[in-house]
Amino acid sequence: MTHFEQLRQKRAEILAIADKYGATNLRIFGSVSRGDDRPDSDIDILIDQENAWSLFDHVAMMQDLEDLLERKVDLATADALRPGFKERILQDAIAL
């Protein structure tokens, strides 16, 4: 089973965590979305935020997702993406 298939299997749990922190529109990007991830690849998730976040909220959501998925997770918002990479990342992103 691929990492993306595992994410789809745990979709409801992932979305519950996102809801807890006010994150919406979760999209997978990076190696997992391209299908060239390795067993040790992290999971890159692009999110929209409903409310202002503190650093604590960001870290807490990442930790909750890492505990669920048993893998390193990186969270990003479209606004935080570097301009040179933003277009490609948005093109590769797959809705969860």
Domains annotated on the chain, with CATH: 3-95 (3.30.460.10)
- Reported as type and span, the H/E element at residue 73 is strand 73-77
pLDDT at 32: 94
Per-position DSSP letters for 68-91, written without gaps between them: HHTS-EEEEEGGGS-HHHHHHHHH
Express each pLDDT in 4-59 by its tens digit: 899 999 999 999 999 999 999 999 999 999 999 999 999 999 999 877 778 899 99
Residue type, 6: Q
Sheet containing 73-77: give its strands across: 73-77, 43-49, 23-29, 94-95
pTM listed for this prediction: 0.91
Mean predicted confidence (pLDDT) in 81-95: 89
